[in-house]
Amino acid sequence: MSGRQFSVGDAQYLVGSRQLKALTIHESQALLRTREISAVELTNAYLSRIEQIDNRVHSYLHVASDRALAQAQAADERRAGGEDTPLLGIPLAVKDMITVRGMPATAASRILDGFVPPYEATAIAKLREQGAVFLGKTNLDEFAMGWSTENSAFVTTRNPYDPGRVPGGSSGGSAAAVAADETVAALGTDTGGSVRQPASWTNTVAMRPTYGRVSRWGVIAFASSLDQIGPMTKDVRDNAILLKAIAGHDPMDSTTMPEPVPDYEAGLEGGVKGMRIGLPREYFVDGMHPGIKAAVMDAVAQLTDLGAEVEEVSLPHTEYGMPVYYLVATAELSANLARYDGVRYGFSAGADSMWENYRQTRGQGFGPEVKRRIILGTYVLSAGYYDAYYLQAQKVRTLIRRDFDQAFERFDALIAPVAPMLPFKVGEGPTDPVDLYLSDVFTLPTALAGVPCISVPAGFVQEDGASLPVGVQFIGKPFAEATILRVAYAFEQATRFRNVRPALP
């Protein structure tokens, strides 16, 4: 694997591990189809990259080298037999909240240490059917509860653009793996912003689909009315390809909708001329970093230059998004996490009595943030408080959803910042949990409303000598992923921020 040269678009590559790592899904497929590279070569390139740099980035909790190479060999054999799918032979990473048969599934928690599921998520089964290669499982905040991956029970993932800083969370491992070229693309999960915020902080692209667009079956549950799998990629075209592969109705998940899945990639080239895009005034809050506001307004100017009409819009119930989310989500996680008792699977403290074993297992197995949210959720659901808190929160959630419904009567899409702050240094984030919760203030309302959103690179901000990525999100009406992908693609092609890669060796 040396000396062969080829070109993709306007970029030149040398077939070798250092160059193959830069390829996107669609670039890789172009070369696989013409037999200029093999899936085994491509997979080896990423495994080599992981071996070289992951001791600095810490994207992965588990790397399945032998299995990945076996899958790559099988993909090459399928291609030789005439098969061709968009993801045949493409190496992918999977957030360790999503089950893959035969691979550890820890949710970055000690309480699931050693658990290997005998089943796998529907999304993984669909990718396996297409011949995708699974490199391994990526790090996250424990049970997807966090903003930085510092809540992982095992290791803190580092931001490839500044290894002294966090990559965001909870899908920080997947985002960092994509940004650091340790995978072609990855899957994450988004409950309140967990693919979009780390994508914004790592100069990558991430989609939270409409609730019900992608099956949740096989995802370790956090908050069942909010959780969604989302593709995390190097560019918008890849996001469209990966979303199509995992979307669709699933009889194993009654919340999935029998909506047709369009060819998202085919609709990317339409442009934004004549489209109406709303700019929510409530998304510009006191304390937001001025560089982030500037990046969003630059994006507005760029869309205007491309022919879109951008106007201000009001989403008046935005301010209630954070309290509503932390009532609904904690109530649901309190119920979902009750199953971890040290009896059936995962970690067990091994105490003498059943109740003492239960207490010690949960006390030792869960981390501080998970315990905090379990306590809050249990209180919300307790006798005398259900109506006052959880039921009331669901009513306000309906009002938040109506804000978006009314906005989409006027607009094709909305544009907004992803996070109010830049990625902070490891160990130096806000110490007050409420201040940390505010980092999701722009992503929580959309999660509560169940609408699709995509985070796209929008520039860089200088801070303490570091050049830090900033993203912008485009928001669409339910099941309008094709529309926001089209807007995101037009913006991406006009700006090319994605071409700025981290300065890793």
Q: What is the 3-state secondary structure (H, E, C) of 335-391?
A: HHHHHCCCCCCCCCCCCCCHHHHHHHHHHHHCCHHHHHHHHHHHHHHCCCCHHHHHH
Question: Kindly report the CA angle at 138 between 136 and 140, in degrees rounded to 5?
Answer: 160
Is 395 a known active-site residue? Answer: no
Question: For residue 373, how many other CB atoms are within 10 A of its CB?
Answer: 23
Is 170 a known active-site residue? Answer: yes
CA–CA dist 461, 469 (Å, integer): 6
The letter for the amino acid at 75 is A
Q: Match 């918008």 to its residue by tokens.
A: 236
CA–CA dist 34, 47 (Å, integer): 23
Contacts of 104 (CB under 8 A, 6+ apart): 61, 62, 96, 114, 115, 116, 137
Among candidate residues 194, 334, 348, 455, the one labeled active-site is: 194
Among candidate residues 21, 38, 95, 109, the one labeled active-site is: 95
Q: How many residues does the chain have?
A: 505
Query: Which 3 state secondary structure label does DSSP give 428?
Result: coil
- Which of 164, 416, 132 has its CA nearest to residue 285? 416
Among candidate residues 17, 38, 170, 455, the one labeled active-site is: 170
**The pairing of beta strand 413-417 with beta strand 276-280:** parallel
- Which of 189, 241, 180 has its CA nearest to residue 214? 189
Active site residues: 95, 170, 194
